[in-house]
Amino acid sequence: MNYVFTGNSEFLITEALNKWKKQFIEKYSDFNLIHLKEIKSLDKNILKDAILSESLFSSEKKLIILDINNDIGDELEDFLIKNLEKKPQENIIILNYFLPDKRKKFWKNIKNISEIKEFNLENEEDTKKIINSKFSGKIDLEAINTIIKYKSNKINKIIPELEKLTITKDFITKIDIEENIVPELEESIFQIIDLVLNKQIPEAVDKINIILNETNIFAFYNNLLSNLRTSLFILELKQEKKTQSEISKILDLGNRSFLIGKNYKINFHELKNLYINLVNIDKNMKMGKLVSSEEDDIKFEIEKYLIKI
């Protein structure tokens, strides 16, 4: 039988693969298990042999796991289909296929000869259920909500962080999350935007210094501009008396629509001037008007314009 383990959650796919591996090894031993992770760079004869060769013990099953993605190329895709159709009945093939391109002919062909197993996380409630199942009685609800926010609902990053905390904590609280876990860049940017737009500049600068210990200045700068631009557009549309639903639709905010309801101390003209000044940092750097293009100089320019608000 052929199986495809797919979906939008690498964590859930990996969990399922590990479970199948464990059960298979217990029954048939690891001698009959093969996991090929870099098939694009693998010799095709080795790949063909892995798929088509039977277990040395003909009565036993053989489990072959192949990690694939959307970039393996047409030639390899055709090669896989051809050999999967000819494999011995005793061989169990699992294709580990995270976020497949379902428009491709390859996906349609795979579906015709495989059983599809989907592993998806649809929303934060799904993430909460996983956390509760793995850390039942060891974490409170506020801590769960905080780490989901800090890690942008990325379960593959949430679980390792919580596992590390359980080494030193019998019970995890919100304070433990805040004191020990660094938010993802996106969440950190939201926190900085809130501080800047409320004119809490010293706090914003302190937060920037913390983030830049973990993040490249150019990634931070581009993210900051993008989010400030969104805030600027929201303020402009509010001035035009647009409704919340109209603003959300115009800016395609989706799950960020909560930003529309926020009230800040900064006014539209102050934010506009800040945004223009920050955009000019990139322009001045490219024209050689900064002292240099080193990270410290860009950071200094950002802080300079924040202080001027």
Taking the alpha carbons at both ends of the chain, their separation in whole angstroms is 65
Distance CA 92, CA 21 (A): 11
Distance CA 50, CA 64 (A): 7
Distance CA 68, CA 51 (A): 14
C-alpha dihedral over 129, 131, 137, 138, to 10 degrees?
-160
Distance CA 237, CA 247 (A): 7
The token pair at 272 is 């506009």
Distance CA 151, CA 72 (A): 30
Alpha-helical segments (H) within the chain: 10-28, 44-52, 74-84, 105-113, 124-134, 141-150, 155-168, 174-180, 185-197, 201-211, 217-239, 244-251, 268-286, 295-307
Which backbone phi and psi does 192 adopt, to 5 degrees? -65, -40
What pLDDT, on a 0 to 100 scale, did the predictor assign at position 289? 67
Question: In this structure, are residues 134 and 168 in contact, taking their beta carbons and an 8 Å threshold?
Answer: no
Question: In this structure, are residues 119 and 7 in contact, taking their beta carbons and an 8 Å threshold?
Answer: yes
Amino acid at 149: K
Cα–Cα distance list, 177 to 17, 144, 165, 169, 302 (Å): 29, 9, 9, 11, 28
What pLDDT, on a 0 to 100 scale, did the predictor assign at position 118? 94
Burial classification of residue 258, based on how many CB atoms lie within 10 Å of its CB (0-12 exposed, 13-18 middle, 19 or more buried): exposed
The DSSP code for 261 is: G
CB neighbourhood size of 101 (10 A): 11
Distance CA 68, CA 109 (A): 15
What pLDDT, on a 0 to 100 scale, did the predictor assign at position 66? 97
Distance CA 257, CA 269 (A): 22
What pLDDT, on a 0 to 100 scale, did the predictor assign at position 59? 63
Which domains are present in the chain?
2-118 (3.40.50.300), 124-180 (no CATH), 185-307 (1.20.272.10)
C-alpha dihedral over 48, 49, 53, 57, to 10 degrees?
-150
**Residue with structure tokens 């919340």?**
244
CB neighbourhood size of 47 (10 A): 19
**Each residue's pLDDT expressed in tens, for the chain with a length of 309 residues:** 899 999 988 889 999 999 999 999 999 888 899 999 989 989 999 999 999 998 766 567 899 999 999 999 999 999 999 999 999 989 999 999 999 999 999 999 999 999 999 998 878 888 999 999 999 999 999 999 999 988 888 898 899 999 999 999 999 999 999 999 878 777 888 889 999 999 999 999 998 988 888 788 888 999 999 999 999 999 999 999 999 889 989 998 876 787 898 889 999 999 999 999 999 988 887 777 666 557 778 888 999 999 988
What pLDDT, on a 0 to 100 scale, did the predictor assign at position 255? 66
